[in-house]
Amino acid sequence: MLYRVVPKTQEKLPILGFGCMRFLEKNGAIDEELSLPLLRYAIDNGVTYLDTAWMYHHGQSESFVGRVLANGYREKVQLATKLPHWLVRTRGDMDVFLQAQLTRLQTDHIDYYLIHSVGKESWQRMKNLGVLDFLDNAKRDGRIIHTGFSFHEDTRTFKKIVDDYSWDVCQIQYNILDEFSQAGREGLLYAAKQGLAVIIMEPLRGGKLANRPPDEIARIWASSKVNRTPAEWALRWLWNQPEVTMVLSGMNDIAQVDENCKTAETAYPKSLNPEESATIADVAKTWRSLMKVPCTGCQYCMPCPFGVNIPSCFEMYNNVHMFGDGWRTNAVYAIRLGGVMSGVSVASACAECGSCLSSCPQGIDIPNRLKDVSSRFEGPFFHILVMGAKFALPFIRWYELFKNRKLFRILHR
């Protein structure tokens, strides 16, 4: 296993981390009979950074990881989890959730504590609630060691959050298709320049880039002189960039662990030759040619004066048509853009002002294509879904806090 250094702390991290949100399930729960030995096998083979979160596997992931780390395994790993900001309403809630996570994970400290999927409006709200004081205090008393945030919005917002606090790490979605989406390569370079370790999530787009590719893509891979799986190509593209500190992979069988670990033994920065880089660029270009909307995610159309997150709208629209998974994408569109976790930025907010048209290098008829997006995602039940999610959120928050306060009373009798 190769390692890279966190610039601010000089701590070494393995270049391959384990994302704990894609374990195999059985009867609606994590299949512990398969997943517990799998995760310990990965740790024993050098995958010693574990990334979990409050919401993963419907709230089961943290407790499961805590059980995995019994019998001496806690001392072998760097453990990361995240604050679910959408359930936080007061400064005190932050401490409640952190204490609950420490209990779930059966530990007295979190090595890397991230604000989960924070965006422009949610970050401002968290600052107003005192999250900077919370992070400082939790670091001071040893409950958390390093701080960070995960992110899914635009580059401009990403840079603002990077500049707002002395973070140690950030976590971004980045892969051969998302080089210019969300934080993108510009955000990667900016964060690295500011001394942050950059951790990559969705390196294979939820496994979709590792699946059997369309014939056009398969022919390009097959034409290379180097024989690699699509997963290895995608991971090597990331590790070829020295600004990438670590890549998270949600592995769910031994073969995936073995393949990824083997790749992580030789994936040095700047190790791809020009021919290999050209092959990957050709694959990325061909994938984009298969998109319904030829949006590269460059964000020249942003900010929209009416708040539409244009690149994200097109990204989700393209995802549905390239990869399927309609139910999940519908839910992500409603929660992320419909105003549940942050401000409303859906396609239907477009007022057809036309200010974006002259700035699009691809010449996309953005207002009309946004109508296609709205038609696909914002059907007759869309607003009911968003309203239902907003209505349910306070009850979910109350339940989570009540459940864990009850737990604390039991534990501290």
What is the C-alpha separation between 74 and 71, in angstroms, rounded?
8
pLDDT digits (tens, 9 = 90+) for 340-387: 777 788 999 999 999 999 888 778 999 999 999 999 988 877 877 777
pLDDT at residue 169, rounded to an integer: 98
Q: State which H helix or E strand residue 369 sits in.
A: helix 366-377
What is the C-alpha separation between 257 and 283, in angstroms, rounded?
24
pLDDT at residue 408, rounded to an integer: 52
| Phi/psi at 382 (5° precision) | -60, -50
Q: Which domains does the chain have, with CATH numbers?
A: 3-279 (3.20.20.100), 291-413 (no CATH)
pLDDT at residue 405, rounded to an integer: 62
pLDDT at residue 409, rounded to an integer: 57
3-state secondary structure of 411: helix
pTM above 0.85, yes or no: no
pLDDT at residue 406, rounded to an integer: 61
Q: How far apart are the first and last CA of the chain?
A: 45
Neighbour-count burial of 123, counting CB atoms closer than 10 A to its CB (0-12 exposed, 13-18 middle, 19+ buried): buried
Mean pLDDT, contiguous 10-residue spans, the chain (413 residues): 95 97 90 96 98 93 97 97 94 94 97 95 96 98 98 93 98 93 94 97 87 89 94 97 97 95 97 96 90 80 91 88 77 82 85 90 89 89 77 72 61 47
pLDDT digits (tens, 9 = 90+) for 30-77: 999 999 999 999 999 999 999 999 989 989 999 999 999 999 999 999
3-state secondary structure of 15: coil
pLDDT digits (tens, 9 = 90+) for 170-186: 999 999 988 988 899 99
pLDDT at residue 380, rounded to an integer: 79
What is the C-alpha separation between 99 and 97, in angstroms, rounded?
5
